[in-house]
Amino acid sequence: MRMSRLLRFSTSARAHSPTAISRSMTSDFPTTHLGGSAAQVQVGKVGHGLMFMTWRPVPVPDEQCFGSMRTSLEHGVNFFNSGEFYGMNPGEANLDLIRRFLDAYPQHAEKMFVSVKSASPAAEPALRQSVANIRAHLGAKKLDLFQCARVDRDVPIEGAMQMLEKLRGEGLFDHIGISECSANTLRRACKVAPVAVVEIEVSPFAYEEETKAVIAAAAELNVAVAAYSPLGMGFLMGAIKSRSDLEQGDLRAHMDKWSEANFDNNLRLAEALQAIARERGITPAQLCIAWVSSLGSHVIPIPGSS
């Protein structure tokens, strides 16, 4: 995968309008395949994160969300990442956004591969209820991939995978994903049931030894990596210069990278990366997305799209 091809797809703050994205895309946008039971599913080499469209004090207007989602689909970006709890009121606001989008643009339903995380514990009644809730909010759109948001410490991964495979066998969703796991946990999970996607944070701000180990294990096991927050949740793009730039109630204000103790040091690191991007005549977002994608043919950066 050549980085130059991905650099054509800008997800900078100014490129979220349909017009801007259209000018930066070409018809030969790179693709890859998912893993496990979804090995035949082809997706764009960049995905589309939906979380911060709704998980914020003031959700992004539908018109802006729909323009971003529609343009992604029209240009080959078809892996959409959502969550049952990606909203402040109600928690299912992100799923409702997807339903409203497909009500308005039903022709995109088959193109759109939707991955949804659940915050439920890995016990069968809770998982079953979560799946039913997600399906109800999605409406006519099928649930392509279901995953727990975290590995349940009280339930061995083998037991969790057995329950997920049972639900999948009932036709409640098509594929299984795992989120925020170690390489060892991924290996254990794949011995029980096919894992299509493992979701972990990957960016120039998040590339620890365990991250490298998960990416390597996923390649060995034929599992795709959904790399969330490749832009450091916006930190690396250069738009935010101080903590006061965050709107009141922004979830990022409570995260370690954004804390008062760490902000200034991290800002200097972000500025150094932005300087590298300027030298190459590209945006910091393009640089981060291309770098994350270059970590493997199975690695799919899913930048936020708000």
DSSP assignment of 177-211: EEES--HHHHHHHHTTS---EEEEE-BTTB--HHH
Six-digit token string for 275 = 């300087």
Burial state string for 202-235 with b = 16 or more CB within 10 A and e = fewer than 16: bbbbbeeeebeebbebbbebbbbbbbbbbbbbbb
CA distance 69 to 273: 28
DSSP alpha helix (H) spans, the chain: 3-6, 18-24, 51-54, 62-74, 93-104, 124-138, 157-169, 183-190, 209-221, 260-279, 284-293
Annotated active-site residue 86? The verdict is yes
Known catalytic residues are 86
